Chain A
Amino acid sequence: MSPAVGLRDATAIVGIAQTPFAKHLEPPEAELACQVIVDACADAGIDPSEIGALSSYTMEATEEVDIVRNLGCKEVTFFSQIGYGGGAGCAAVGQAALAVASGQAEVAVAWRSRKRGSGPRPWTSTSVQLRVPGQWTRPFGLLRPVDEIAMLTRRYMHEYGATRDHLANVAMAVRTHANRNPAAMMYSKPMTRDDYMTSRWISEPLCLFDNCLETDGALACVIVSSERAKDLAQPPVYLHAFAQGLPAEHQTMVNYFNDDPLTGPAWACARRLWANAAFGPEDVDVAQIYDAFSPLILLSLEGYGFCKRGDAPGFTEDGNLEWGKGTLPVNTSGGGMSEAYVHGFNLINEGVKQMRGTSTSQVEGAETCLVTSGEGVPTSALLLRR
């Protein structure tokens, strides 16, 4: 596999912004999107009229034309939308970076605005998901993303001896980080192991605290060439490597129909990511790993090579994922489970903060950060560095 050295460190994230995170925000999604992009441009010291590339999720409701008409962008020459829900986040940034690195635009913005806290739950739609593969799963009451991932989790526990204590290790680690982050929805809500063990079931073997939050919120970041990044308001955070991953015979969320369902898109994404990078997993100082559900962190730790297949449960022990304690602090803002669930975009901005040295759980001397998007769906990942 030949490394994509063309993109390596060629671009940098130079502006970030976020709205408040809450169960309910008053402004509509489009307003949140526009505001957060303006704020990210202000953070970078770039006028929004300069935006030439826009990148987001296919599930994003605010379209490029709306961004352009509201923000007064002059001429947008690259726009992309990435599919597969929470798998899209890092790809929105990565494809924006590709546009800048290849000369399609000079200033790129990636964003996500979502009122998932007060808006509808996608799984409650009875019409849109009933074809392939829904006709094979939903009539039998496998209705929600949590049910679909719980199925893989049970099998994982069976094969590798993982227990609820290991899932609790994950949930408690990210909660301790949220408890240090005033912007997090769970900032003032500590969680004990007993809280975890006695919480209600959602889909056995997953309980309430194995699930992400339901959040209204929006985030954005600004990407320019590393050359231009030298002269801007914020210290540049270099996009060292980017990859997407869609493995053979994959089915989104219900990846039960191939030889090895526990080897998900993270594995394919990781192979390309590390091939593109000048360093490996042992050199990652801090990681932001997509956590719609706690077991996705176990699967991703293995997929991205932090430990061997089946060793992730042990990797979570003795606070190994916790700031100030472990070898790999994970989701230092609280992540999707304890800061906010905005389809993983808060993980991207937290990665940037770690590289700037401004996280509320700052890993001292951190120079590299892995950010991943959803496992269990066609996915993407970024390596950031100072």
Chain B
Amino acid sequence: MSNAAAFSGGYAVNRGPSVEGFLMPATDEEAAPFWQATKEGRLVIQACGNCGRLRHPPRPMCPSCHSTERTWKDMGRNGTVWSYVVPHPPLLEPYSSLAPYNVIVVELDEEPRIRFVGNLVENVDAPLDSLDPSTIRIGEPVEMVFRTLERADGSTEALPFWVRRRN
């Protein structure tokens, strides 16, 4: 499942949050159910246990009804590109070696208020710079896929990436 070499285009990636490798998410307790679900290939979004309002990023309290009851709702993985950028150096390694690459913001089709930052890649294992950024369009349909990456200490996370949806 893990395909670090393909992701990095040959660079070491699994050293956790360090300048030597890709930055792994420093997950907090609040977001733990999200990161657990991605390992199971599922997208879940935090929802208020009282009024049902979805919220992202996750947090302890519902801003609508102030309930601290948290539930997690399974969501569809389809989304639409809301915006994108193409970073150029100076950047941290290994990002600078892969630049120019794309970073996109996607809104979920099921709940457009919920957005994710990610990368649009050719396929689940393709490197960060696998798509020509000039082909990206705001409004194009994309689908979330999960790529498992390993930290230096052996722990893993499944990170959400995005591929083009071909209807």
A contact set with B: CB distance below 8 Å: 124, 126-127, 130-144, 147, 150-152, 154-155, 158, 200-205, 248-249, 251, 254, 256-259
A138 near B23 with CB under 8 A, answer yes
28 contacts between A and B (CB under 8 A): A124-B19, A126-B17, A126-B18, A126-B19, A130-B25, A132-B31, A135-B26, A135-B27, A136-B57, A140-B159, A142-B85, A142-B87, A147-B87, A151-B103, A154-B84, A154-B138, A155-B82, A155-B83, A155-B105, A201-B88, A202-B87, A203-B85, A203-B86, A248-B63, A254-B117, A256-B105, A256-B117, A258-B113
Closest A residue by C-beta to B138: A158
Question: In the complex, what distance in Å separates the CA atom of A134 from the CA atom of B31?
Answer: 12
Contact of A130 among B23, B63, B85, B91 (CB under 8 A): B23
**What bracket does the count of chain B residues touching chain A fall in?**
35 or more
User: Which residues of B does A touch, CB under 8 Å?
Assistant: 17-19, 22-28, 30-31, 56-57, 59, 63, 82-88, 91-92, 95, 98, 100-101, 103, 105, 113-119, 128, 133, 138, 159
| Neighbouring B residues of A203 by C-beta, 8 Å | 85-88
Q: Is the interface of B mostly helix, strand, loop or mixed?
A: loop
Q: In the complex, which residues of chain A have a beta carbon less than 8 angstroms from the beta carbon of B87? A: 141-144, 147, 202-204
Q: Are B103 and A147 in contact (CB under 8 A)?
A: yes
Contact check, B95 vs A143: say whether CB atoms are below 8 A apart: yes
Q: Count of A-B contacts with CB under 8 A?
A: 117
Q: Is A139 touching B28 in the complex (CB atoms < 8 A)?
A: no
Contacts of B22 in A (CB 8 A): 139
CA distance A204 to B133 in the complex (A): 10
User: Which A-chain residue is minimally distant from B129 (CB atoms)?
Assistant: A141
Please determine whether A256 and B86 come into contact, CB atoms closer than 8 angstroms.
no
- CA of A124 to CA of B31 in the docked complex: distance in angstroms? 24
Task: Output the least CB separation between A212 and chain B (Å).
Answer: 15
Q: Which residue of A lies closest to B157 (CB)?
A: A139
Could you tell me if A158 and B83 are in contact, using CB atoms closer than 8 angstroms?
Answer: yes
The residue among A140, A144, A204, A205 with the most chain B CB atoms within 10 A of its own CB is A140
Task: Across the A-B interface, give the 7 residue pairs with the lowest CB-CB distance, nearest first.
Answer: A130-B26, A135-B25, A204-B86, A155-B83, A150-B85, A201-B88, A137-B117
